[in-house]
Amino acid sequence: MRLDPALAHSWPAIALAILVAIVYPLLGLRRFRRIEHLPDPLPSRTRVRLYWNLLASQWSLVGLTVLLLAWGGRSLADLGQSFGPNPGVTIAATAGLLVLFTVLSVFTTRQLKRATTSELPRRMRKAGKILPQNDTERSWFVLVALTAGICEEILYRGFLPWFIDGWVGGLGVGYVIAAVAFGLGHAYQGRSGVLVTGVLGLLFGALAYSAQSLLPGQVLHAAIDLVNGIAVGYTLVRARAAGAEAGPEPGPDAGPGDVDASAAPPA
């Protein structure tokens, strides 16, 4: 996944890197801060519009990446959008990761089914405001999860590490810096959200580096977002309904906790 460093030094590549690593996460944080001041639960149309914005923005960034690579005579395959040099190993690794994630998800969803709002980690409740609450929203969220898995891996495990490698001469350094940027893209979940998502970014980077392919990380990323996002959304709906019958539960800042940072969109 090494490209001509001269392309990384071009002004379009620099502009796109700034957009991906700095501007886009800051705009996402600003959008979420606005949402925090809206009534809870959000109107369904507000959540759906947010999903439309996420779909449009992430695919637009990938489109700009494709144009940049085409300008340099390259394609997404040069960033790892392929089965890699050993397709059989890539497919087997992807299948193994999905099996492991499925097993872990069984235990997670069982715990969520018994949880009340006050028992949910703080980061989960913060992200929960933008998670799907009905069938229409869940349908759109499926597209959001798939988009995040595909696009964020292209941007944060493909483009950004390559760009940094073109400047400092170290792809490993590129993965680390890209993981930091990926974590900061989840700043709306608080410090623990940044930390956990940054660690996930390192994991996805290790997958991309070892397989020389973005596919294992894309599949796992999409699965995490899809299962966790919908499961937490269901839990919040159920807990809110139970709270309406039994009286109000503690507010969204009650109690510390943790949750998979990729359960919500990155910015």
* Euclidean distance between CA atoms 137 and 104, whole angstroms: 25
The yes-or-no verdict on residue 50 having pLDDT over 80 is yes
With cut-offs at 50, 70 and 90, classify the pLDDT of residue 191.
Answer: confident
Query: Tell me: the pLDDT tens digits for 224-256?
Result: 999 988 888 888 787 767 665 555 544 444 443
Residues in the chain: 267
Q: Residue 26 corresponds to which tokens in the numbers above? A: 């800051």
Question: How high is the pLDDT of residue 260?
Answer: 41
The yes-or-no verdict on residue 262 having pLDDT over 70 is no
Question: How high is the pLDDT of residue 261?
Answer: 37
With cut-offs at 50, 70 and 90, classify the pLDDT of residue 178.
Answer: very high
pTM for this model (two decimals): 0.86
Vertex 128 angle, CA 32 and 114, to 5°:
165
Mean pLDDT across the chain, nearest whole number?
A: 85
Maximum CA pair distance of the chain? 64
Report the number of distinct structural domains present in the chain. Answer: 1
- Rounded (10°) CA dihedral 131, 135, 139, 142: 40
Query: Which of the residue ranges 47-56, 84-93, 122-131, 172-181 would you say has the lowest mean pLDDT?
Result: 122-131
- Domain limits for position 81: 5-263
